[in-house]
Every structure is written in structure tokens, then in C-alpha cells.
Amino acid sequence: MKPTHIEHIGIAVSSLEESIKYYEQVLGLSCYAIEEVKDQKVRTAFFRVGDTKIELLESTDPDGPIARFIEKRGPGIHHLAFAVEDVAQSLRNAAGHGVRLVDELPRRGAEGLQIGFLHPGSTFGVLTEFCGSNKPD
Ligand code: ZN
């Protein structure tokens, strides 16, 4: 039930290309994957930093959630993802503690992993994601 590590930190950016340059040239990380997640209306770029990843999120749609986030709050940290063994169980546990869920059930996120979100209104302002190691059914 307890998260094992920070799986990734999601960062909303206006331009994937521009921000990849910063992570590669200034921080010396290398982007190992770029993936479009149609459900979420985003293109994502991934970097590894130890056990944790940086996930850059660029909107593919002016009405998508990342576009709306940037419009309201500017680019920056968007969400924090905890690695858990069982996403469904972690969601149920959070709901049992009165936390509002964005996802009642796990769904497929980037890299084919099971994910589920908790609402930031219930998590002290941090959009929180559970990220499993299993593919959804
Ligand atoms: Zn994420």
C-alpha cells in the first residue's frame, strides 16, 4: 500500500522541443522517449533521474487539461506520481479516507502503465497520481 518511490514528476510545458533542450543541455539528462497520449491530449517526454522520471507534458489541444493548466497557472510542476503496487487498491484506500478521486478505476497512462489520479482539492493542492507496474486489463 505504501508508495515505494516517486515514480515521476509531471511538468507542464508550452513547448516540448524547447524544454527538452534545457533538460539535455543544461541538466545533462537524456530524453529516452517521446509519446503521445491521445486520452490526455498531451505529448510527453521522459528523462530518468535515479529511480524517478521527469515527465514533460505538452498539450496537443488548446482545450486539453494541460493547455488549461498553463493558461491558469503558467508552465511548471503539474503533478506528483507515486509508484505503488496496486493502483486500484491505492485508489480505494484514498477514497476510504474521504479523498476525492479523479479516477474511480485505474486507466492506461504513458508507457502503458496503470495510473489513477487523486483530486488536488483533497490533497493539499498537489494533483497526485498513483502509478503501477502492471498494465491495465
Ligand atoms: Zn504522470
Q: Output the tens digit of pLDDT for each of the chain's 137 residues.
A: 799 999 999 999 999 999 999 999 999 999 999 999 888 899 999 999 999 999 999 999 999 999 999 999 999 999 999 999 999 999 999 999 999 999 999 998 877 789 999 999 999 999 999 999 755 44
CA 78 – ligand 1 centroid, Å: 9
C-alpha to C-alpha distances, 14 to 10, 25, 32, 122, nearest whole angstrom = 13, 18, 20, 27
Report pLDDT for 133: 73
CA 26 – ligand 1 centroid, Å: 23
Q: Which residues surround ligand 1, an ion (CB under 5 A)?
A: 10, 81, 129
CA 55 – ligand 1 centroid, Å: 7
Domains of the chain: 5-132 (3.10.180.10)
CA 57 – ligand 1 centroid, Å: 9
CA 136 – ligand 1 centroid, Å: 15
CA 11 – ligand 1 centroid, Å: 9
CA 109 – ligand 1 centroid, Å: 7
